[in-house]
Structure 1
Amino acid sequence: MTSRPPLSKHWDSHLHTPLCGHASGQPREYAQAALDAGLAGLCFTDHMPMPAWYDAPWRMRLDQLAEYVDTVRGVQAEFAGRLEVRLGLEADFHPGTERFVERVLGAHEWDYVLGSVHYLGAWGFDNPEFVAEYEDRDLAGLYRDYYALVEGAARSGLFDSIGHLDLPKKFGHRDPENGAAWRALDVVAECGLALDFNTAGWRKPVAEAYPSPGLTRAAAERGIPFVLGSDAHSPQEVGFRFSEALRQLGDVGGQVVTYAGRVRRG
Structure 2
Amino acid sequence: MSPLLFDSHLHTPLCGHASGSPREYAQAALDAGLQGLCFTDHMPMPAWYDAPWRMRLDQLAEYIETIQAVQAEFAGRLEVRLGLEADFHPGTERFVERVLAMHPWDYVIGSVHYLGAWGFDNPEFVAEYENRDLGALYTQYYALVEGAARSGLFDAIGHLDLPKKFGHRDPLGAAALRALDVIADHSLSLDFNTAGWRKPVAEAYPAPDLTRQAAERGIPFVLGSDAHRPVEVGFRFTDALKLLQAVDARVVTYRGGVRHA
Provide the TM-score with structure 2 as the length reference.
0.99
Q: For structure 2, which runs of at least 5 residues remain unmatched after alignment? A: none
C-alpha distance 83-173 of structure 1, shift in aligned 2 (>3 A)? same
Equivalences for 1:238-253 in 2 at 5 Å?
Answer: 238-253=233-248
Amino acid at match of 1:264: R
Partner residue, 1:82: 77
The residue number in structure 1 matching 2:192 is: 197
1:160 maps onto 2:184 in alignment: no
- Please tell me whether the aligned partners of residues 111 and 158 of structure 2 are also in contact (alpha carbons under 8 angstroms): yes
For residues 230 and 94 of structure 2, the distance between their equivalents in structure 1, rounded to whole angstroms, comes to: 33
Alignment correspondent of 1:101: 96
* Equivalent in the alignment of 1:224: 219
Q: Which aligned runs of 4 or more in structure 1 are off by greater than 4 angstroms?
A: none
Question: Paired residue for 2:249, among 227, 238, 254?
Answer: 254
Q: 2:18 aligns with which of 17, 23, 27?
A: 23
Q: CA deviation at 1:109?
A: 1.0
Deviation for aligned residue 1:168 = 0.1
1:138-153 counterparts in 2 under 5 A?
138-153=133-148
Matched, 1:69 2:28: no
Is the 1:16–1:45 Cα contact (8 Å) retained in structure 2? yes
How many angstroms apart in 2 are the aligned matches of 1:209 and 1:228? 11
Unmatched runs of 5 consecutive residues or more in structure 1: 1-6
- Aligned CA RMSD, in angstroms, stands at 0.8
CA distance in 2, matches of 1:80, 1:53: 38
Provide the secondary structure at the position in 2 that maps to 1:115: strand
Distance 2:21 2:137 in 1: 36
| Count of matched residue positions in the alignment of Structure 1 and Structure 2 | 260
How do 1:110-149 residues align onto structure 2 when only pairs under 5 Å count? 110-149=105-144
SS in 1 for 2:26: helix
What SS is found at the alignment partner of 1:233?
coil
What secondary structure does 2:95 align onto? helix
Deviation per residue, 1:136-162 (Å, 9 max, x gap): 000000000000000000000000000
Distance across 1 between alignment mates of 2:208 and 2:25: 28
Q: Report deviation, 1:10.
A: 1.6
| TM-score, with structure 1 as normaliser | 0.97
Query: What is the percent sequence identity of the aligned residues?
Result: 81
Task: Report the Cα distance in structure 2 between the residues aligned to 1:29 and 1:88, rounded to whole angstroms.
Answer: 17
Offset of residue 9 of structure 1: 4.7
Letter in 2 for 1:14: H
Per-residue deviation at 1:66? 0.2
Q: Which residue of 1 aligns with 2:204?
A: 209
Query: d(CA) in 1 for partners of 2:198 and 2:253?
Result: 23
